[in-house]
């Protein structure tokens, strides 16, 4: 974190400062800000936030022992460390992040980009980081730091030298993105897609649209909203914001688009067209034609921020995977390809992964889909799992292996489809799935492993990748 005095931190988090012996309100703190006591180093700030399973205050003594210079707590603790007592530790974390970003922005040329959408946030964030790093120092989230804790933690990593800050914004309820937007005040807001991811939490698509719209409603006239013109629910957000609109997509009248798409087992080639009229061919190693839309979104935002076409293309061509466990290509032994895409799953991303599997399968060889639960769909879960099973039939996937009771309806829907000449098997555990694949795979087969994180199939994907490496 940039250096702030204890008094400045206290003001930012709206808390009561309790100094330890020998400390003064003018003392500076500039260490990292952590909510995990195991990451504390001498000089760090520890935020003792309550958790779902435990309470951060229980770990404050460990933070003190590891050299924390300051504790932000919801109750005063009997520890020999300066503390700031706040009403809500998570809100305090956000307040501190907002103050740090505002100060850096006022002192320099910091530009902020925020990304939201039902799918593709992490991939787009990673592509943007790669593009912007070619221009200047860039801060972006580690992993999927996109909630009311993760986003502020990313914001707190900016320094006086940071030129670009990329923030991934997820939402589990209406108002969550609006809160993050108010903290960060992005110059560019990107909305990728509106789908059924987290439908169980939002209740319906209308609520999802309202939640994702929060990305653009508070933008200023001097800001830019980057919108997916191919998604009608995203496209209609243009009427909700005073910001300048930049549209991306493959169809219709858009500012940034792709043409001449060709997909295969090594990625996708296409021609990128920017809003300024420039265009260039791109060899994009990330597997899956659906990731081209993420590339277009990143390119649109990067162009707004002054990145050249040359640097945009170089960044895209240097990206070999979307993210760990996201369309990650493994294997190779006996020409067996394993696609590990089991970090997360929604109906949209599951459909896209199956279509990619069907598209890239080697002629004359089998395509095998090892599928687990799509979580957080609420009352839509049964219907959507049925739909995915039927999609696998329509795509003529050679074999389905469905893992876990919560995904079993995919298996039932496939075997009930009499026109399909493929096979479907159901197993209870990833270990059983591993043995089934190992005993049945043929040289040249392509194996997709796809599920929500909670199903744990990403580790099965790794095991299969190691088996055929």
Which residues, 6 or more positions from 38, have their beta carbon under 8 angstroms from its beta carbon? 62
Q: Where are the beta strands (DSSP E) in 188-344?
A: 188-191, 224-228, 244-249, 256-264, 267-273, 279-284, 328-331, 337-341
Query: How many other CB atoms are found less than 10 A from the CB of residue 380?
Result: 18
Residue 289 phi/psi, 5-degree rounding, is -60, -30
Report the C-alpha gap between 319 and 190 in whole angstroms.
20
Query: How many other CB atoms are found less than 10 A from the CB of residue 370?
Result: 29
Contact, 1 vs 45, CB < 8 A? Answer: yes
Pairing mode, if any, of strands 45-47 and 33-34?
parallel
Which residues, 6 or more positions from 323, have their beta carbon under 8 angstroms from its beta carbon? 122, 123, 126, 343
Q: Is 111 annotated among the ligand-binding residues? A: no
Q: Is 119 annotated among the ligand-binding residues? A: yes
Q: Is 118 annotated among the ligand-binding residues? A: yes
Contact, 140 vs 128, CB < 8 A? Answer: yes
Q: What's the Cα-to-Cα distance from 94 to each of 22, 53, 208, 326, 446, rounded to whole Å?
A: 28, 21, 23, 29, 45
Report the C-alpha gap between 386 and 367 in whole angstroms.
20
Q: Is 259 annotated among the ligand-binding residues? A: no
Q: How far is CA 239 from the centre of its chain?
A: 26
Q: Is 337 annotated among the ligand-binding residues? A: no
Q: Is 123 annotated among the ligand-binding residues? A: yes
Q: Is 120 annotated among the ligand-binding residues? A: yes
Distance in angstroms between the alpha carbons of the first and the last residue of the chain: 42
Residue 401, strand partner residues = 370, 425
- The DSSP secondary structure of 327-379, one letter per residue, reads SEEEE-GGG-EEEEE-S---HHHHHHHHHHHHHHSPTTS-EEEEE----S-GG
Instruction: List the structure tokens of 3.
Output: 């250096």
Residue 113, strand partner residues = 166, 188
- Residue reference for tokens 């002192």: 107
List the Cα angle 236/183/246 in 5-degree steps. Answer: 30
Q: Which residues are annotated as a binding site?
A: 117-123
Q: Which residues are annotated as a binding site for ATP?
A: 117-123
């Amino acid at each position: 974190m940039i250096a702030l005095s204890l008094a400045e931190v206290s003001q930012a988090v709206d808390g009561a400062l309790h100094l330890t012996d020998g400390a003064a309100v003018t003392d500076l703190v500039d260490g990292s800000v952590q909510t995990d006591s195991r990451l504390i180093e001498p000089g760090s700030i520890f935020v003792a936030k309550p958790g779902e399973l435990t309470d951060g205050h229980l770990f404050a003594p460990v933070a003190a022992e590891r050299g924390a210079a300051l504790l932000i707590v919801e109750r005063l603790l009997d520890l020999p460390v300066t503390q700031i007592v706040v009403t809500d530790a998570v809100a305090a974390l956000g307040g501190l992040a907002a103050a740090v970003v505002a100060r850096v922005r006022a002192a320099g040329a910091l530009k902020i980009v925020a990304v939201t959408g039902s799918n593709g946030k992490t991939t787009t964030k990673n592509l943007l980081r790669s593009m912007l790093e070619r221009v200047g120092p860039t801060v972006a989230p580690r992993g999927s730091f996109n909630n009311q804790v993760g986003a502020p933690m990313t914001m707190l990593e900016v320094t006086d030298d940071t030129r670009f800050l990329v923030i991934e914004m997820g939402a589990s309820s209406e108002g969550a993105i609006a809160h993050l937007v108010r903290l960060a005040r992005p110059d560019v807001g990107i909305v990728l897609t509106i789908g059924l991811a987290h439908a169980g939490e939002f209740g319906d698509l209308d609520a999802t649209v309202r939640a994702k719209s929060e990305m653009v409603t508070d933008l200023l006239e001097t800001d830019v909203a980057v919108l997916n013109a191919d998604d009608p629910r995203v496209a209609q957000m243009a009427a909700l914001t005073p910001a300048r609109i930049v549209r991306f997509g493959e169809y219709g009248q858009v500012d940034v688009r792709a043409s001449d798409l060709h997909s295969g087992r090594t990625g996708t080639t296409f021609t990128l067209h920017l809003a300024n009229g420039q265009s260039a061919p791109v060899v994009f190693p990330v597997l899956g034609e659906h990731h081209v839309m993420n590339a277009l979104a990143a390119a649109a935002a990067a162009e707004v921020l002054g990145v050249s076409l040359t640097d945009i293309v170089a960044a895209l061509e240097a990206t070999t995977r979307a993210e760990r466990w996201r369309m990650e290509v493994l294997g190779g032994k006996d020409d067996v390809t394993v696609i590990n895409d089991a970090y997360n799953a929604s109906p949209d991303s599951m459909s896209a992964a199956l279509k990619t599997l069907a598209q890239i399968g080697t002629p004359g060889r089998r395509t095998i889909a090892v599928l687990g639960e799509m979580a957080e769909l609420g009352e839509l879960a049964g219907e959507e799992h049925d739909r995915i099973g039927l999609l696998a039939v329509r795509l003529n996937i050679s074999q389905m292996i469905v893992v876990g009771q919560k995904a079993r309806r995919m298996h039932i829907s496939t075997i009930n489809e009499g026109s399909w000449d493929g096979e479907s098997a159901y197993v209870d555990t990833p270990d059983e799935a591993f043995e089934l694949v190992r005993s049945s795979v043929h040289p040249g087969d392509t194996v997709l492993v796809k599920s929500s994180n909670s199903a744990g199939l990403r580790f099965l994907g790794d095991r299969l990748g190691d088996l055929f490496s």
